[in-house]
Amino acid sequence: MNTQPSVFAQIMAFLPLPEFRKCVRRYRVDYRVRRFSCLDQFFCLAFAQLTYRESLRDIVSCLKAVRSRLYHMGIRGRVSRNNLANANEARDWRIYADFAQVLIAEARRLYRNEDIGLELDNTIYAFDSTTIDLCLSLFPWARFRKRKGAIKLHTLLDLRGSIPTIIHITQGKTHDVRILDDLLPEPGSFYILDRAYLDFFRLYTLHQNHAFFVIRAKSNLQSRRISSQPIDKSKDLRSDQRIVLTGPKSKTDYPDVIRRLRFYDRENGRYLTFLTNNFLLPALTIAKLYKLRWNVELFFRWIKQNLRIKSFYGTSENAVRTQIWVAITVYVLVAIIKKKLDLPVPLYTFLQVLSIMAFEKTPLNQLPTEKYDHESMADDPNQLLLFNL
């Protein structure tokens, strides 16, 4: 008899359940709940994320098909479409947001020494947002335009391991730059921003908190050059200057000196202008730092393709926020498992394998990966070959 737990149960075993129960008690959600607890709800939604289920009916049908295994998967309550829908509608989404922060803190500890290709000990963040379109007739609370609904996912990504540290979910019409007011700048850290966040008053707040920023400048920037530094044009650098702002508003919002760099992007055939308040790093390092900002775009693309955050199991704001936070929790949990087991596969490949082997009883560190290819089978003398080459 195979007593090995299923792949899904092995994944859930990495969860710090005492911390989850603390989050539940914080909001008193499980008070007098007997049949379908918050943990049951979390396991069902995590199963849906890992196996890419399409709807509540899809989730329930799959779980009922393996009813005898549910107890060993950690699901103790009665799984039904009505129970799951009511839980998504009524139970406070902040439980899962708080629990996600617990896992995020653990993941950041594991990945704090991750190599990013630059010899820097500073923490490096990329900040950006992505829009998730919604049907306005089904989600009237998420009004974006006259006939369109949407929400925005504002994310501060720790580039060591691509771990999301802060996530704000807002309505689609919320301007990106306003979310900078909610950041608590860490002294000595780098914040890499796109042009949408070019607000000199908020950038000066980062500067006063001894944090560094790297941001693209707009073409209509009004400034005056104070001095220039020698550069190596063979490395596609074009200028390295110290400037002061001369615009009527910008010079009041940011009265100090700023460093301006001009770089030629050979891959795309265009010139890029960067602004930063760091005057010590080489100019080429600043340009490479900004190039790392693309990781946050890859993160958004990855979670949209591999997790269920574009279509939702409920239409209320609470249900949508719950589903997004469970998706983020699953992403971070898989990243933690990959690091703890030292698996030499990309996170995408690992998640794809998990999605089709949730009920298998194979140890996680023995799951087939991209290295398990036809060459390894061809080396087996007992393996029949389809073609004799």
Task: Indicate if the pLDDT at residue 374 is higher than 50.
Answer: no
- Grade residue 140 by pLDDT with cuts at 50, 70 and 90: very high
pLDDT of the residue at 2: 57
Burial of 230 per CB tally in 10 Å (0-12, 13-18, 19+): exposed
Residue 93's SS3 state is: coil
- Distance between start and end Cα atoms, the chain: 41
d(CA 384, CA 368): 20
pLDDT tens digits, one per residue of 15-59: 999 999 999 999 988 777 778 889 999 999 999 999 989 899 999
- Mean pLDDT across the chain: 88
pLDDT tens digits, one per residue of 254-310: 999 999 999 998 888 899 999 999 999 999 999 999 999 999 999 998 888 888 888
- Grade residue 369 by pLDDT with cuts at 50, 70 and 90: low
Quick one: average pLDDT of 190-201? 94
Task: Indicate if the pLDDT at residue 389 is higher than 70.
Answer: no
* Other Cβ atoms closer than 10 A to 190: 24
The string of DSSP letters for 208-254 reads: HTT-EEEEEPPTT--EEEEEE----GGGTEEEEEEEEE-STTHHHH-
The 10 Å CB-count burial string (b at 16+, else e) for 272-297 is bbbbbbbeebebbebbbbbbbbebbe
Is the alpha carbon torsion for 67, 70, 76, 77 positive or negative? negative
pLDDT of the residue at 356: 86
Q: Give the range with max mean pLDDT: 116-125, 232-241, 314-323.
A: 314-323
Task: Indicate if the pLDDT at residue 153 is higher than 50.
Answer: yes
pLDDT of the residue at 189: 95
More confident residue, 107 or 74: 107
Q: Choose among 27, 42, 23: nearest CA to 326.
A: 42
